[in-house]
Chains A and B, each alone.
Chain A
Amino acid sequence: MAAYFASLNPTALWNALPGGLAQGLIWGIMALGVYMTFRILNFADMTVDGSFALGGAVCVMMILQGANPFVALLVSFLCGLIAGLATGVLNTVLGIPDILAGILVQISLYSINLNIMGKANQAIPAGQGVTPFTSNIRYLGQTIALTLIYDVVIILIVYWFFGTEIGSAIRATGINPNMSRAQGINTSKMKVITVAMANGLVALSGGIIAQYQGFADVKMGQGSIVIGLAAVIIGEVLAEALVGKRLNFFIRLTFTVVGAVIYYFVYVFVLWLKFPADDMKLLTAVVVAIFLAVPYFQGRKNTSFSALKKRNAKAKKTASKDQEVK
């Protein structure tokens, strides 16, 4: 035990934090996409695992062809848009349930991504120069600053968009589709728009991650939906604890990115504790399950049968005590 603690190096943790921050900010873009589908549209979108890798694959291949890294990211975004469009159409036009529609597109993207890259992974060669987003320690500050700008701009756009007429219609669609149709809203169209935009953001995030790590892998998106959900949920719990009743939409969006950053800080910390990296996805899933269960149990605290049993038992006890006193 002592040997284990002795082997932990505080400096290493400190040095790993900026990397965690950068990754968290990049994944924050992805989490904003998940927030749009999962929280606003009430649509469980599983496409993201595929569209995240799609963004990475497209970005790396474009850069290999000599494209400007920013143009490559734009194309990643557009490709993600199309992937989301496919899921939306499968759901609304072909009547396939949301989860299944997403899984179908996700699995087809696996093949598509392999075709785009020609093999399971592609690296940006060192000779290609430094990409604007990079894990290279010398440019990490620049990466963080640039990502932060992306996050802020995207939050502002998303905030503005959901305040517009179309945005309001999308929110209404997520909350009450019957009411929305009665008010003349084309709910199918709203769903397709939102899922497309969300996947655009996810693919953009995937593209940036590919630049950051210097390569794209066909499996890089695996489990990203869980990380996105983790970010959304951690952000929500934290925002409610810190801001409480004054919680508005802007703060919610901001805390979604904060949630992603915290996720990566925890990630870095757990790795620093020498937790095997292979088990990280399991850990993430457990954390998400716990955070999803907490509001449910809070709701049941006073309404479940077992709670009633306890209350009744307590009431009996005090009643019998009163009797004794008499």
Chain B
Amino acid sequence: MLEIRNISKTFNPGTINEKKALINLSLTLEDGDFCTVIGGNGAGKSTVMNAIAGVWPVDSGEILIDGVDVTTLPENKRAIYLGRVFQDPMTGTAGDMQIDENMAIAARRGQKRDLKWGVTAKERVEYRELLKKLDLGLEDRLTAKVGLLSGGQRQALTLLMATMKKPSVLLLDEHTAALDPKTAAKVLAATDRIVGENHLTTLMVTHNMRDAIAHGNRLIMMSDGKIVYDVRGEEKKKLKVSDLLEKFEQVGGEVSDRMALS
């Protein structure tokens, strides 16, 4: 369960570049909620993700994960609770390390790392099984450098790494935005499968309205650092892209080309 209580964040306060990125934002996700997040450029979508992940401290408010107050925990200590996939396929993996080494690092998220072997033979067998499920042929390339993989393969691997140790909250920050449509669909299908199988509480930012409607059981729209629309269940299922665009214009958001075209 994720509880965000009245968080605010202002970047560059007191300067000409001052930007109120989040204003008194509250959001509660129940266990197993799969919530998609849409909104225009600068609406605060990624800022929410970074606030939850602890990339920097928020100015005020509280963030609780499974009832634990993580507001003051630094990024690496919060990682115990979080699985994260980023927009840039380069960000989520270490390109100059092997696939199995990357996975082994992810498998030890939240654990104390000591002088035991970084990756064991037993683990490699498990990893091969996990990779097989992705259906990208990665199971035979366990010792290949991740830098040799395509963007889609890297994102799928990052997704796997984010979830192989079950996170309390899975944060997907436009994780298919940099991929071609076909690959994006594959990665999204893998996302649905993994989230469903593990009953993961998930927050997924996307620019693609159709994806936002098609995936998850809840949808929120952000504008100017606030949640302006929150819909779930049956009501969400009935949503159409046109509804969202209309709603978007109501709140005075700028519809970017990427959103309109999707």
Contacts and interface: CB of A to CB of B under 8 A. Distances in A.
A114 to B, nearest CB: 38
A254 interface: no
Contacts of A179: 91-94
B110 A184 contact: yes
A182 B84 contact: yes
A278 interface: no
Interface stretch (A54-62, A136-144, A167-175): A167-175
B108 A182 contact: no
Given A165-B114, A175-B96, A181 B91 contact: no
Given A175-B95, A181-B75, A185-B113, A167 B80 contact: no
B93 A181 contact: no
Interface in A156-171: 161, 163-169, 171
B162 to A, nearest CB: 8
Interface string A7-32: 00000000000000000000000000
Contacts of A161: 115
A169 B91 contact: no
Interface string A35-54: 00000000000000000000
A220 to B, nearest CB: 34
Nearest to A188: B76
A185 to B, nearest CB: 6
B33 interface: no
Contacts of A178: 86, 91
Nearest to A185: B76
A169 B105 contact: yes
A65 interface: no
A51 B75 CA distance: 33
A169 B75 contact: no
B116 interface: yes
A183 interface: yes
B94 A182 contact: no
B97 interface: yes
Interface in A176-207: 176, 178-187
Chain A interface bracket (under 10, 10 to 19, 20 to 34, 35 or more): 20 to 34
B105 A176 contact: no
Contacts of B102: 172
Contacts of B174: none
Interface residues of B, number: 34
Given A165-B116, A167-B118, A176 B84 contact: no
B77 interface: yes
B79 interface: yes
B114 A166 contact: yes
Interface string A250-283: 0000000000000000000000000000000000
Nearest to B84: A182
B104 interface: yes
Contacts of A184: 76-77, 79-80, 108-111
Contacts of A166: 113-115
A171 B53 contact: no
Contacts of A185: 76, 79, 105, 113
A164 B161 CA distance: 19
Contacts of A175: 94-97
B87 to A, nearest CB: 12
A65 B108 CA distance: 48
A168, A178, A183, A186 — most chain B CB neighbours (10 Å): A183
B101 interface: yes
B117 A163 contact: yes
Contacts of A180: 76, 94, 105
B259 interface: no
A285 B4 CA distance: 56
Contacts of A171: 94, 96-97, 101
Contacts of B23: none
Nearest to B110: A184
A182 B80 contact: no
Nearest to B111: A184
Contacts of A181: 75-76, 79
| List of 8 A-B pairs having minimum Cβ-Cβ separation, nearest first | A184-B79, A168-B118, A165-B113, A175-B94, A184-B109, A181-B75, A172-B94, A164-B115
Interface of B: 53, 75-77, 79-80, 82, 84, 86, 90-97, 101-102, 104-106, 108-111, 113-119, 161
28 contacts: A161-B115, A163-B117, A163-B118, A164-B114, A164-B115, A164-B116, A164-B118, A165-B113, A165-B116, A167-B118, A168-B104, A169-B105, A171-B94, A171-B101, A175-B94, A175-B97, A176-B90, A176-B91, A176-B93, A179-B93, A181-B76, A182-B79, A182-B92, A183-B106, A183-B109, A184-B80, A184-B110, A186-B76
Given A161-B115, A165-B113, A183-B79, 9 more contacts: A164-B118, A165-B118, A166-B115, A171-B101, A175-B97, A176-B95, A180-B94, A181-B76, A183-B109
